[in-house]
Amino acid sequence: MAYGPFRDRESFEGFLTAATADPSLIVFTIVSGESGRAEGMASLSRIDPQIGSVEIGGIMFGPVLRRTATATEAMYLLAEYVFDGLGYRRYEWKCDSLNSASIAAATRLGFCYEGTWRNATIYKGRNRDTAWLAMTDGDWTVARPIIRAWLDPSNFVDGKQRMSLSQAIQTHRSAEAKDSGG
């Protein structure tokens, strides 16, 4: 990310104050069901209601939230808000092309890789290539029930997932490609 790591609480609070005051962003706090505390955040930006497109970004999960069903549920709820609440047709996810964890997270949630913009920006003293991923309203129609099934408590035994979300999404994509002759 272009911002962080933060030296201390005050520098993070300064960042939050600026982010929440920015009219081009909608900042969401993600509260852990376990702790009941704010454990992460995500923002909607590049909001274009005329064409029904928005970008998810600024995703930061604290250690309590990382790699949890709560984190997946937060991303699901944001997609549900974008597509079902706002009626948008495109949901974008962009990240540093070197951030393989972010690319994997987006793909796991049903976003499709669309390409890389080379030398898209400069930050932290280096060129950044930006990986573009997106989910369309058609992709959401497919991903919604898959993610909902994954989030169902019956998918978890002793806190361990029975079905991998990545595998469920990929299985569907493979079947879809086979059906279309691709």
Residues with Cβ within 8 Å of 23's Cβ and at least 6 positions away in sequence, in order, are none
Q: What is the pTM of this model?
A: 0.86
Query: What Rg do the C-alpha atoms of the chain give, in angstroms?
Result: 17
Tokens of 41: 């955040």
Q: Where are the domains of the chain?
A: 9-174
| Tens digits of residue pLDDT in 24-68 | 889 999 998 778 888 999 999 999 999 999 999 989 898 888 888
CA neighbours within 13 Å on the CB side: how many for 26? 10
For range 132-161, the mean pLDDT: 92
Is the Cβ–Cβ distance between 39 and 61 less than 8 Å? yes
The fold adopted by the segment(s) 9-174 is Aminopeptidase (3.40.630)
Cα separation, 55 vs 71, whole angstroms:
18
